[in-house]
Amino acid sequence: MLYAILCYNSEDAIGSWSKEQHAETMTRLHKVHEKLEKQNRIGPVARLLPTTAATTLRKGREDVVIDGPFAETKEQLLGFYIVDCASLDGAIEVARDLAKANPLTGAYEIRPVAQLHESHLPTEKKPAA
């Protein structure tokens, strides 16, 4: 079963890190990535740009496109992992490993994934500026 692990935290807290703090955290996260890669259990991983770069389409009588995230919250969706786990318990274990690698509090939401279609995107695509 594929699970999405959605990573939530404060953009302000992450944005205030020094280059050294960021590099140290990424080093710890890469250890988790390498473990999952060796087990052939990791799929797409993405870090999202800040919510200031977000655009929302709100459905209603008329569709409205607005700048910004869907909801105002203390924690924002920062990124996600797609991992292959035999059970929910396995996905929780991966989320715990990710949480240990990250020095801040936050949340990791775990959801089973229903794959609707195969991705045909190149694996080495840079985000749009």
pLDDT digit string (tens) for 57-110?
Answer: 777 788 888 776 655 567 788 889 999 999 999 999 999 999 889 877 788 889
Using DSSP's 3-state secondary structure scheme, residue 54 falls into coil
**What torsion, rounded to 10 degrees, do the Cα atoms 101, 107, 112, 118 define?**
-70
pLDDT of res. 82: 92
Mean pLDDT within 111-127? 62
Residue 29 has pLDDT above 60, yes or no: yes
DSSP 3-state of 21: helix
The third-level CATH classification (topology) of the domain covering 2-112 is: Alpha-Beta Plaits (3.30.70)
- Mean pLDDT of the 38-45 span: 92
Per-domain boundaries in the chain: 2-112
